[in-house]
Chain A
Amino acid sequence: MRIAIAAVVGVLLAAGASFGAVQLANASQKDPVIKPLYNYGAR
C-alpha cells in the first residue's frame, strides 16, 4: 500500500510540475534559434 501511495505521490508531483512548466513555457515562449546558427553556445 505504501509503495502504491509513494508511486502515486511521485507521479502526481511530476505531473503537477509538468503542468506548471508548460504554463511557464507558453507564457514566456522564446525563439530557440539564436544567431549565428552554427555556434556551440553562448556564455
Chain B
Amino acid sequence: MNDRTRHLVAAVTGLGLGLAALGPGLAPGFVLSYDMVFVPDPAFTRMTFGLTGVVPRHVPSDAFVTALAAVIPADVVQKLVLLAVFVMACTSAASLVPSRRLLPRLATGVCYAWNPFVAERLLLGQWALLLGYAALPWVVAAAPRAHEPGGTRRLARALLPAAIGGFAALTVSALTAVTVALATRGERRPRVVRVVVTAGVLSLPWLVPGLLRPAGVPGDGTAVGLFAARADTPFGTLGSLLALGGVWNGETVPRSYGAPVTATIWLLVVVVALAAYWRWGQERRGAVIAAMVGFVVASLGAVSPGGLEAVIDLWPGFAVLRDGQQYVAPLAVVVAVGLGLAADRAAEARWPGVAAAAMAVPVFLLPTLAWGAAGDLRAVQYPDDWARARHIIDGDPAQGDVLVLPWASYRSYSWNHGRRVLDPLPRYLHRRVIVDDAVTVDGTTVAPEDPRAVRLAPAARTGAPPAVTLRDEGVRYVVVDAEPGTIRPSGAATAVLRGADLVVYRIDGAAEATGDQVPVAPVAAAWAVASLFVFWSFVAPRTTLSIPLLGSIKPRDPHRRRTP
C-alpha cells in the first residue's frame, strides 16, 4: 500500500466519522449552535471584511463561506466545511505516524478527530477554530523544516485552514508552530523568522482591521474567570484539560461525558499515549514542548487568573488567551500520535486486537458525539418571516442601518429547538446591523465592543428605544426577532412586517451614520498581500508569478521537434 492510498483510507475514515458526528445536521437547512452561524445567500458587505468597526473575529472565515456560497447553496457549504474538519483532522494526524501499518495510523486519525476537544468546540459552534485544529498536525510537521527549500511554502499551505479560520485558529496554530520551531535543534533563527513571517502575513486580513478600529483593541480583564477552563471530569480542571476537555461553557460538554468510569478509562488512554509518544516518538522534542506550552497557557485562567488579568492589562490583545482550553490543541496532536505509536508497537508484537482497540476506543468512550452530538446539532430552516424581512429591508433604497431587539447577542429561538445561537441577523441582512455584542455568562456581562452598540445601549436596553434617538443615530429599521409582542420602539415607528417569529419597524428620515469605520485601502492591501502569499505558496518552486498569470515567458526552442 503506497502513501497516497494510506492518506485516502484515513480521509475516508475521517469522512465516516464526520457523517456519524453530524448525523441529523446533514439534513437540508442550517445547524445553528452558539457561535456557529450560517445563513442563506450571504453577501459580501463591509462587515464581511471587518470594515464596520466591530472586532473582526469573523474575518476571513465569513468571506470564505460567502465566496463558496456564491457557487453552492450556503447550507451545503456548512456541511462541507464541517465534514472537511473531520476529513482533514483524521488525514493530517494519521500522516504523522511513522508506520506503514494501517491500523496505527487510523488509531491516530480517529483519536484526533473524535475526542472531547472536537466535541466541545463543535457544540460551541467554533467551526473556524476547528479548521485550524484539523490542520495542526501538518503545521507541527512543517514548522521544523520551514527554513529548508520549499519549507516556507509548505508551512503556508499547512497554516491555510487556520488562516481561513481567523484569529483564534491562527493564534493557536502560530503559537504551536513558533514553539516547535524554537524547540527543534539547529538553525533556530532562520526557521523561527520564517514561521513568524508566514503567520504574520496570513494574519493580515484580520490583524489590519483589528488594529485600525477607531475604538482600539478591546480586552476586558474581568472576563478571565468566565472563559477560563473548568472541570468537566472528576479530575479537576487540570485533569480535564489533560483529557482534552475542560471547555469554559458547561452547556457544551457532550452528554454523559465525564462519568467517572469512562473518564477514568479515557484518562488512562491519554496517559498511555503520552508515555508511548515519549518512548517511541521521532523528532518528539518540538511537539512535546508545544503541547506543554499549550497546556500551561490553557490552564492560566484557572490556575492564575490574576496573572492573566495583569497580562491583559499590559496589552488588551492578550485577551486572546482568555479562552484557554483551545490551547490544548497541540496536546491533542501528541496524544493522538502517541496512541498510534502504541498501537504500532502492539501490532508489531502481534497483538492486532490491541491495535484495533486503540482505533475504536475514542469513539466508544465518547459515543455522544455521534448523531449530531446526541441530537443537539440539528439542521433547521429560517422562518419565512426572516426571508420577508430581508426582502423588505434589502429592497429599500433609502439609507439607514438596522437595530436588533431584544438587546442581547445570543438567542434561543423556538424554531431552533431552543438551542443558543449568536443572533444571525448581522449576517442574514445585507445592511449594517447593530446588535448588542456584550455577552452574558452566569449573570456576568462582558463589556460590548462595537462603538455603535455602546452608544445605543442605554436606549436599546429599555426595550422601547425612542424612535427619534434611533433616527439620529442612523437607524432606519428595528427588527424584533424574539418576544415580538412585548418589545418595540416608542414613537414614530411604523410596523412594516408583523410575523409570529419576527417584527420589523421602519423609522423614516434616518440620519447618516458617522465615524467608527475602518479605512478600506489598508484592509484591501492586507488582503492583496495575504492572497498573493497564499498564491505563491501553491505555485511550484522556482517559478515566477508571471508564469501562471501570463503564460510561459520562456521563448520556445526553435530547434525543438515535435514527436510524431
Which residues of A does B touch, CB under 8 Å? 2-3, 6-7, 10-11, 13-15, 17-18, 20-22, 24-25, 28, 30-34, 36-43
Contacts and interface: CB of A to CB of B under 8 A. Distances in A.
A40 B12 contact: no
A3 B4 CA distance: 12
Interface string B87-118: 00000000000000010001000100000000
Contacts of A7: 9, 12-13, 16
A17 B363 CA distance: 7
Closest 8 pairs (CB-CB, A-B): A14-B20, A33-B418, A38-B408, A41-B249, A25-B374, A21-B370, A10-B13, A10-B16
Q: What secondary structure prevails in chain B residues at the interface with A?
A: helix
Chain B, interface size category, equals 35 or more
22 contacts: A3-B5, A6-B102, A13-B16, A17-B370, A18-B23, A20-B367, A21-B375, A22-B371, A24-B368, A25-B371, A25-B375, A32-B376, A32-B419, A33-B412, A33-B418, A39-B410, A39-B420, A40-B409, A40-B410, A40-B439, A43-B249, A43-B441
A7 B102 CA distance: 11
B255 A11 contact: no
Nearest to A32: B418
A14 B369 CA distance: 10
Given A42-B441, A42-B442, A43-B249, A37 B20 contact: no
A12 to B, nearest CB: 9
B544 interface: no
Contacts of B521: none
User: Which of B8, B252, B412 is most buried by chain A, counting CB atoms within 10 A of its CB?
Assistant: B412
A31 B364 CA distance: 25
Given A14-B20, A21-B368, 14 more contacts: A6-B102, A7-B12, A10-B106, A11-B16, A15-B20, A17-B364, A20-B370, A31-B418, A32-B418, A34-B251, A40-B409, A42-B249, A43-B230, A43-B249
B249 A40 contact: yes
A41 B406 contact: no
A40 to B, nearest CB: 4
Interface string B187-207: 000000000000000000000
B226 interface: yes
A30 B226 CA distance: 24
A37 B482 contact: yes
B440 interface: yes
